Structure 1
């Protein structure tokens, strides 16, 4: 198990408010080796985000790393975050042959509880806190961008092995605008969809506990 997680934070140079926010999130968290990555500008913000993810995997990641963390600059840690939980679920996900491990999602299609703090998910939205495992590097580099698709859609189309930490250790901070997803500009929308996903997963947990 890696002692530090190489962490790549995607940030548009003009978004100094987001830069200040995200650096504050990782301050005093020595388990992360943080590197800011200048986001690739594109008239389609979602495509620019995907191109930046590919750039990170292709050009910046040491290929011997078992896994890395890619963060968007609106990521924020929840009260559920603890270093021990993160490393434990990384290990659990690795044992399951995970391609990616998510810190929190704003939407998902299907989910199955694997362990107390680990779910398998199918389709999902939100890549603000994305652990990518070594075995998935090549598949991501080979993935072609699909018109109208976002980074999360491309990822879930390429993988069957997607896992999610629950309770969420990451959500997205609302800045009142989004450079990648226009509908996220609506005030309160991002918070609402994360809360809705959290409620659905909590119901799944309660049902499982009842039948156990």
Structure 2
């Protein structure tokens, strides 16, 4: 599986590959920064070139990273592939692997959330439905990479725990210190979403259990009514009552 990496810190290939877990067998495609452009334009051009290659190779997805390839301790290769496969089946445009800040979220599960806008992701997975949408976007020199992404794509999912840790230096409009502060608030927000979703699932299960018990009671009562009618009928036909 190809993993496209925008080398914003001008790291050598050995340093880059060392950050990847040993059991993650990625074909790392390093995209170098063009210093004649700003970081936002570099991110967009790197994404476009990555998608162009994926379309030529007929790949179903593009793993795209900015500044770091380190996969978090929450993921094994098997669990990551499972999440990617599930997202692909859902017809998702984009799976966001980490984020500094986001707007609204709707939980799909305890780990996946539909989101609207976001800011400061350094790990994204673009799926085949998104390829042509990205290629048709006009990106200007003062545009924001994140804004163009959430404006261009509809079906965006955030995964938490994150696939990789945040790289605070990737956004040049906000200080690294502020990014760390925002990312801490985001993690707290996601933990709240997870907790609320867990309580919702428990409540749903309790309601279903009550419904099942009610149905069981109604079935028992219905059988009782039938048996009672049969008993009364048998009594009415008995010789005791006829005499």
Q: Same fold (TM over 0.5)?
A: yes
| Residue in structure 2 matched with residue 134 of structure 1 by the alignment | 128
- For 1:192, which of 154, 174, 181 is the aligned residue? 181
Gaps of 5+ in 1: none
CA gap 1:154/1:166 in 2 versus in 1, 3 angstroms: same
- Aligned position for 1:9: 5
Aligned to 1:54: 48
* Secondary structure of the corresponding residue to residue 165 of structure 2: strand
Larger radius of gyration: 2
Gap change, CA 1:78 and 1:194, over 3 Å in 2:
farther
Greater helix content = 2
Query: Pairwise mapping of residues 144-155 of structure 1 onto structure 2 (< 5 A)?
Result: 144-146=138-140, 148-155=142-149
Higher strand proportion: 1
Count of paired positions: 201
Q: What residue is the counterpart of 2:98 in the other structure?
A: 104
Q: TM-score, normalised by structure 2?
A: 0.73
Equivalent of 1:182 in 151, 154, 173: 173
| Alpha-carbon contact 2:5-2:30 (below 8 Å) kept | yes
Distance 2:187 2:71 in 1: 15
Say if 2:19 and 2:70, in contact at 8 Å, map to a contact too.
Answer: yes
Q: Distance in 2 between matches of 1:20 and 1:49?
A: 22
Question: Which string of whole-angstrom CA distances, capped at 9 and with x for unpartnered residues, describes residues 83-126 of structure 1?
Answer: 22211211221122111111111111111111232111110123
Cα RMSD of the aligned pairs, angstroms, is 2.3
The 1:22/1:16 distance shift into structure 2, 3 A limit, reads: closer
TM-score between the two structures when normalised by the length of structure 1: 0.83
Instruction: Considering Cα pairs closer than 8 Å and 6+ residues apart, tell me whether 1 or 2 has the greater RCO.
Output: 1
Which one is further off, 87-96 or 60-69? 60-69
Runs of 5+ unmatched residues, structure 2 = 202-243
